[in-house]
């Protein structure tokens, strides 16, 4: 926090450090979090003018941090306060912060904030665009950072689509491991080895108590074959 203040970013003042009882004493900042302000849109009449002001302060503060080689590490609206009386932005919780000049690290900082805004503050519209516009004005190194942010966003979209397709197979892969422990070499793990009988005659039409050990073993083997199909698809 001390380094952030030297860079011109408002943070709580550190009053004391006690190495014996391992405590830090900070200034208490009176005012709501940006999270509460943004969530109050509509119910408390927060208008575009105030959103623009807060977004501009956020982008300006992050730009100063990044140009000074400081990455916050946890940029969420819960870690931003609006000081009563002055309406100035105060950044808190630098527990995950670190020094870095890499554009990748700075881009991750912005990406964390972007995801927080999307998940918690979708009603705020283009607030991230406003933040990035202010960031570009504040940071002299914005170009490389925003290029990395754009690349990371594109990759995240591809991964998201891939995960939607493969999520169910993650579970089946874990199950297949258990199946191998149960039936060992008796299981034939070839692509397309799923039993047609499993598909045509689901074994669970009968009650559990009607199944003997051999029937359950057959069920487990067929389930394992299905799991292997899923695992093969993941390898494609």
Is the Cβ–Cβ distance between 29 and 84 less than 8 Å?
Answer: no
Closest CA to 166 of 108, 236, 118: 236
CB-based burial label for 24 (10 Å; 0-12, 13-18, 19+):
exposed
- Which stretches within the chain are classed as H helix? 2-6, 34-39, 48-67, 103-120, 127-138, 142-183, 196-200, 213-235
- C-alpha torsion 6→10→14→15, nearest 10: 110
Task: Count how many Cα atoms sit within 13 Å of the Cα of residue 12 in the half-sphere of its side chain.
Answer: 17
Two tokens at 41?
A: 């849109």
Is the Cβ–Cβ distance between 65 and 4 less than 8 Å?
Answer: yes
Is the Cβ–Cβ distance between 4 and 11 less than 8 Å?
Answer: yes
DSSP state of 82: E
The set of catalytic residues is: 74
* Helix, strand or coil, per DSSP, at residue 18: strand
Is the Cβ–Cβ distance between 191 and 229 less than 8 Å?
Answer: yes
Looking up tokens 């979090």 gives 33
């Amino acid at each position: 926090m001390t380094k952030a203040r030297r860079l011109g970013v408002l943070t709580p003042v550190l009053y004391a450090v006690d190495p014996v009882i391992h405590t830090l004493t900070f200034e208490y900042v009176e005012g709501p979090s940006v999270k509460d302000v943004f969530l109050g849109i509509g119910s408390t009449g927060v208008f575009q003018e105030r959103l623009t002001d807060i977004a501009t302060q956020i982008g300006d503060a992050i730009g100063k941090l990044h140009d000074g080689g400081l990455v916050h590490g946890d940029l969420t609206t819960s870690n931003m306060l609006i000081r009563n009386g002055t309406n100035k932005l105060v950044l808190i919780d630098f527990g995950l912060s670190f020094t870095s000049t890499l554009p990748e690290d700075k881009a991750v900082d912005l990406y964390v904030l972007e995801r927080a805004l999307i998940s918690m503050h979708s009603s705020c519209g283009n607030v991230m665009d406003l933040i990035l516009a202010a960031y570009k004005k504040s940071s002299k190194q914005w170009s490389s950072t925003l290029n990395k942010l754009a690349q990371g966003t594109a990759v995240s979209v591809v991964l998201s689509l891939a995960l939607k397709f493969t999520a169910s197979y993650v579970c089946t892969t874990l199950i297949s491991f258990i199946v191998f422990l149960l039936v060992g070499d008796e299981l034939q793990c070839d692509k397309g080895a799923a039993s047609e009988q499993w598909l045509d005659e689901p074994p669970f039409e009968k009650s559990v108590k009607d199944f003997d050990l051999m029937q359950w073993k057959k069920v487990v083997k067929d389930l394992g074959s299905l799991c292997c199909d899923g695992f093969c698809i993941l390898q494609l």
